[in-house]
Amino acid sequence: MGTCTLCERNSPDISQALSVCLACIRRRPQEAMDIATRVHRQSRLEFGLPLRPPDDPEGVHCRICMNRCRIPANKSGYCGLRRNQNGRLAGVTTTSGKLSWYHDPLPTNCVADRVCPGGTGCGFPQYAYRRGPETGFKNLAVFFQGCSFNCLYCQNWHFRNETLAAPFHSVEELVADADEQTSCICYFGGDPSPQIPFSIEASKQAREKATGRILRICWETNGSLNSDRLDQMMEIALQSGGCVKFDLKAWDPVLHRVLTGVSNQATLDNFRRAAEKISERPVPPLLVASTLLVSGYIDPQEVAAIAEFIAGLNPDIPYNLLAFHPQFLMSDMPVTSKALAMECLQTARDGGLTRVRLGNEHLLS
């Protein structure tokens, strides 16, 4: 049970840590943002991460993601992965990153599992080994230990313990584990955005090693990378039979900032840009979207706006509504209710989308 600082209402749909309700975020945006900003900064302080994207006029400019950090001397960017060392960027590079990986037997619990070759065999024989699920093959799941967002409900928040402490790994180490039974590589995290040059280089080397066989490349991302990197990523996914999965966290720009600490403008712009590629390979789907139904904050109004946006680009883009599991600073919140999930599912369909589904249904209350 949380209490809203602005309206003093008590409700299980109000996060104690955030202490502001959805209604007040919409009615009193500036006051809500002031409260949320303090929460975000405190949450980052505990992990030794910069409280905000640095913007030092004399700093070194990092152009990898939408935060556009200008990093002061001997300090790091917002993601914590790159530092200004003697006037040059140091830390993760195109060939050295902070990540971990493991093999996941196919079919796997992927956001795109119901539309991808690994889960369904769609695109056979060009992009899939079998007409149905690729049982016997595996996905190389690559987790990046850093992020360009600061989601208060982060489902994988423990990566923050590794952002500064984790050892570096090389592209060669990762690619060496892409064996002949590996039919896809999927990058997630954290988020791939701050280390997108590494993932692109690893993808190129892995595909070269796999010449003559199927090796799909996929990304699951918040979409905050620079547009030139997005183009490279989309091309690799397009040619390999993979897909790019965008996590569209919220539509309302204030709500997005309250929940994630940053703007959603780059994400929406990049999603629109990515959608332009869909006609080049309709099957299997190149672009997939998802939204986590965060209890108390992501409601049918948000889903309706997101669905309308997606449908306006292409109504056949697969859209996944995911059940929320309480994590990080919002661990006091309830799991997504079945009633909310079903209402959001119908709302997305009413918005014109033809391929909507619920994920993580076992979590629904």
Q: Is the pLDDT of residue 103 over 90?
A: yes
Judgement on whether residues 135 and 34 belong to the same structural domain of the protein: no
Q: For position 278, what pLDDT does the model report?
A: 97
Residues 61 and 18 in one domain: no
* Amino acid, res. 26: R
pLDDT-derived band at 361 (thresholds 50, 70, 90) equals confident
Confidence of residue 330 (pLDDT cuts 50, 70, 90): very high
Same domain (yes/no): 87, 37: no
Co-location of 202 and 158 in the same domain: yes
61 shares its domain with 23: no
Based on the fold, state whether residues 2 and 113 are members of the same structural domain.
no
Mean pLDDT computed over 337-351: 97
Give the Cα-Cα-Cα angle 38, 40, 43 (nearest 5 degrees): 110
Instruction: Show which of 13, 30, 46 is a domain's final residue.
Output: 46
- How many C-beta neighbours within 10 Å does residue 195 have? 33
Residue with tokens 């070194």: 60
Tell whether 233 and 335 lie within a shared domain: yes
Q: What is the mean pLDDT of residues 75-92?
A: 97
pLDDT in tens, 7-63: 999 999 999 999 999 999 999 999 999 999 999 999 999 999 999 999 999 999 999
Counting every residue written for the chain, the total comes to 365
pLDDT at 364: 87
Together in a domain, 137 and 77: no
User: Which residue type is seen at 305?
Assistant: A
**pLDDT for the residue numbered 345:** 97
Which residue(s) pair with 96 in the sheet? 170
pLDDT digits (tens, 9 = 90+) for 255-286: 999 999 999 999 999 999 999 999 999 999 99
pLDDT tens digit string along 160-169? 999 999 999 9
Please tell me the predicted confidence (pLDDT) of residue 1.
Answer: 85
Alpha helices by DSSP H, listed for the chain, are 22-27, 29-45, 117-120, 160-163, 171-176, 196-209, 227-240, 253-260, 265-275, 300-313, 338-350
Which sign does the torsion angle of CA 143, 148, 152, 153 carry?
A: negative
Q: At what angle do helices 300-313 and 338-350 cross, to 10 degrees?
A: 30
- In the chain, pLDDT over 70 holds for what percent of residues? 100
pLDDT band at 310 (very low <50, low <70, confident <90, very high): very high
Q: Tens of pLDDT along 120-176?
A: 999 999 999 999 999 999 999 999 999 999 999 999 999 999 999 999 999 999 999
Write down the residue that tokens 């712009």 correspond to: 269
Residue 63 · residue 82 · CB < 8 Å: no
Same structural domain, 144 and 71: no
184: confidence class by pLDDT, cuts 50, 70, 90:
very high
What the block records as the tokens of 127 is 């992009």
The two tokens of residue 298 are 């992501």
In the block, residue with structure tokens 């595909």: 207
Surface-to-core class of residue 180, CB atoms within 10 Å of its CB (0-12 exposed, 13-18 middle, 19+ buried): exposed
Q: What is the mean pLDDT of residues 316-332?
A: 96
Measure the CA–CA gap between 222 and 270, rounded to whole angstroms: 10
pLDDT interval class at 360 (50, 70, 90): confident
| Phi, psi dihedrals of residue 189, rounded to the nearest 5° | 170, -150
**What domain range includes position 251?**
96-363
Whose tokens are 């680009």? That residue is 313
Q: What does the block give as tokens for 124?
A: 């056979």
Reported confidence tier of residue 363, pLDDT bands at 50, 70, 90: confident
> What's the pLDDT tens digit per position in 205-262?
999 999 999 999 999 999 999 999 999 999 999 999 999 999 999 999 999 999 999 9
What's the one-letter identity of residue 85? Q
Does 82 share its domain with 157? no
| Angle between helix 196-209 and 227-240 (nearest 10) | 20
pTM value > 0.95: yes
Enumerate the β-bridge partners of residue 348. Answer: none
Helix (H, G, I), strand (E, B) or coil at 133: coil
Mean pLDDT of 185-207: 98
Number of domains in the chain: 3
Same domain, 58 and 38: no
**Up-side HSE of residue 292: CA atoms within 13 Å toward CB?**
21
Say if residue 107 is preceded by a cis peptide, omega within 30 of 0: yes
Whether 25 and 60 share a structural domain:
no
